[in-house]
Structure 1
Amino acid sequence: MTNKIIAIQGNHPSKLNPRTDTSIFLAHEIQKKNYKIFYYDPKDLSIINFKVIAKGFFVKFDYRKKRFFKILKKQKLELTRCKYLLVRQDPPFNLEYICSTLILDKIKKRVKVINDPAAIRNVSEKLFSTKYQKFMPDTIFSQNIDEIRKFFKKHKKVIVKPINSYSGNNIYLLTKFNLKFFQKFIKKHNHIMCQKYLPKIKEGDKRVFLINGKVCGAISRIPKKGSFLSNLSKGAKPINIKLTNKEMKISKLISKDLKKDKIFFAGIDFIDEQLNGDINVTSPTGLKTFYDLSKINLASTFWRELKA
């Protein structure tokens, strides 16, 4: 019989913010069902004697306490003892990330891994959005200086971001082409994403939560004064909103596609009813914030849908 253990592959709890973190929110919810939470970092994942082993710790979360987590026991655990395993570490989507998915591939027939390791390897968060470019502002993915220069001539005001970053990091709003900047940026990030700037970002974006092929809710995130970044980690303010008919139609289409591609949990973002090109499948966030705004518990929905 499978133990009632949930493994979370993620960043150490001490690096997480309990007020907003989705991993903690998911773990706290399943604790109520008497599941034990085993936490480990991807670097502590190994294959030893044909077994997938993680060096980590059992942990308990409690929102009522200032120190919101308590490490109960440090140990090595054979991950096939777990009922579910959540891949929740932050990107970048680098070689270490890819290696961890290849290791988890070896046990996914015995442990339910969310999201499926092969699926998150194949669904590159930004490049996957090229499938939906008709719903997006004008966007290119390139490291060709001439193509980027032409894009600037066309649009003047452009958002520039790496393909494999996260949480609003290394994103720039540029009003003219700067050769030295792009030479340095491309050297560091290789292919990059350039997108026509949408002024209505000042009014906020919309983060949509997709669980098991269903559109389950959304919040808006309004950038702080003087910023164009809508990430909560960059100081944006969350508010409760509803999706427009157009946004709902696009969200349902993407959600069904992702379910076919074995993506159980994802987040997508809209600006001014246009998809911004981020299909978040590695460690989608926002469920705790959505609960605080709406009192709708999507962590409960997550586990119910997973068990179904």
Structure 2
Amino acid sequence: MTLRIAVQMDPLESINIAGDSSFALMLAAQARGHSLFHYDVRTLAYDTSEGAGGRLTCWAAPVTVQRVEGAHYTLGEHRLIDLATDVDVVLMRQDPPFDLGYITATHLLERLAGQTLVVNDPASVRNAPEKVFVLDFAQFMPPTFIARRIEDVRLFQQRMVDRGMPGDLVVKPLHGNGGKAVFRVPADGSNLGALVEMFQNAWVEPFMVQPFLADVAEGDKRIVLVDGEFAGAINRKPGEGEFRSNLAVGGSAEACGLTSAEEAICASLGPELKARGLVFVGIDVIGGKWLTEINVTSPTGIVAIDRFNGTDTAAKIWDAIEARHAVM
């Protein structure tokens, strides 16, 4: 079975082919004989002038890829394609921010249901933002607080101290990504006021607050699940002078397995992810037991996982996509 695949992602010239998961997925699809298109989400258009049901189109170019730095892709001529009739699969892979533009794209792509397979399912992506969906599994999370008022945050911090925790906090945007704008607040709260002001001015939504987990010094584990099944993991350790372990901010990766607590987390999440059509998901776990995020928009990490473990996660993802497409 060969598929026609439209990849909705950021400009190809900007990606790092050594570690980019979208690029790895494109290489794997091409190796299976699937044909690829690339398009920018900003070219999506919906037209109802031709009759009931409407038509979702984009300006896309056929693309071939190769693992050659500086010459890693070749684009054909851009043309208007119908995402319901000209392709079999849409791979939604543009990076956040998870803003109104992102949400609008999921609403448009949702209209392809029953015609073209969209991965991950756009309605589920919209309804499962990383730091909100995870609240459904609060039994695995560290104590978590979502708010905007500094007075409320100080009360939360005091409750953590009363429980015997050190009192240091981590404050992060609710819809951030890649470790951006994640701050550590010392137990004395000396920079909390300024941070709350900054968050209030920069974002309309509330922010997330959690106790600082000292275990992060030993790493923040990225675990990938494919159609609800464990596919691999890496441990990301903070760089020198950092507490954030994201590879995008200088963290380093190392091979790892799963603890029994992490296996329990995967077992709990797996059926729900599969039911929601969330085929490629990356979860983050600190200290072998604390679930902090469920990444569904544009998960990363498969290149490092495969390099350390000798696996082929991209192949597992395409196996799952092909199986889903076959029963549409």
Identify the TM-score tier after normalising by the shorter chain: over 0.9
Q: Matches of 1:65 and 1:268 in 2, distance apart? A: 29
Q: Matches of 2:290 and 2:218 in 1, distance apart? A: 15
RMSD: 1.6
Cα deviation, 1:16-49, whole Å, max 9, x if unaligned, reads: 1111111000010010122221111111111134
Q: Which runs of 5+ in 2 are unaligned?
A: 162-166, 324-328
* Residues 234 and 254 in structure 2, CA contact (< 8 A), matched pair in contact too: yes
Q: Matches of 1:186 and 1:243 in 2, distance apart? A: 38
In the alignment, residue 69 of structure 1 is paired with which amino acid? Y
Which structure has the bigger radius of gyration? Answer: 2
Query: How much does 1:3 deviate?
Result: 7.6
Paired residue for 1:200? 215
Aligned counterpart in structure 1 of residue 104 of structure 2, from 81, 99, 105 = 99
* Residues 223 and 237 in structure 1, CA contact (< 8 A), matched pair in contact too: yes
- Provide the aligned length of Structure 1 versus Structure 2: 307
SS at match of 2:76: strand
Q: Matches of 2:257 and 2:79 in 1, distance apart? A: 45
Q: Does 1:31 align with 2:46?
A: no
Paired residue for 2:196? 182
Q: Does 1:83 align with 2:88?
A: yes
Q: Does 1:41 align with 2:40?
A: yes
Paired residue for 1:212? 227
* Residues 160 and 171 in structure 1, CA contact (< 8 A), matched pair in contact too: yes
Cα deviation, 1:115-134, whole Å, max 9, x if unaligned, reads: 11111111121011112222
* Residues 60 and 79 in structure 2, CA contact (< 8 A), matched pair in contact too: yes
Q: How does 1:1-308 map to 2 (within 5 A)?
A: 4-48=3-47, 49=49, 50-80=54-84, 81-153=86-158, 154-155=160-161, 156-175=167-186, 176-177=188-189, 178-189=192-203, 190-308=205-323
In the alignment, residue 174 of structure 1 is paired with which amino acid? V
Percentage of matched positions with identical amino acids: 30
Q: Under a length normalisation based on structure 1, what TM-score does the superposition of the two structures give? A: 0.95
Query: How much does 1:152 deviate?
Result: 2.6
In the alignment, residue 61 of structure 2 is paired with which amino acid? F
Q: Which runs of 5+ in 1 are unaligned?
A: none
The structure carrying a bigger strand percent of its residues is 1
**Runs (4+) off by over 6 Å:** none
Query: How much does 1:274 deviate?
Result: 2.8
Q: Matches of 2:69 and 2:20 in 1, distance apart? A: 16
* Residues 124 and 276 in structure 2, CA contact (< 8 A), matched pair in contact too: yes
In the alignment, residue 273 of structure 1 is paired with which amino acid? G
Q: 1:59 to 1:192 in 2, by over 3 A?
A: same
Q: 1:72 to 1:257 in 2, by over 3 A?
A: same
SS at match of 1:282: coil
* Residues 230 and 236 in structure 1, CA contact (< 8 A), matched pair in contact too: yes
Cα deviation, 1:188-246, whole Å, max 9, x if unaligned, reads: 22210001111121111111111111111111111111111111111111111000111
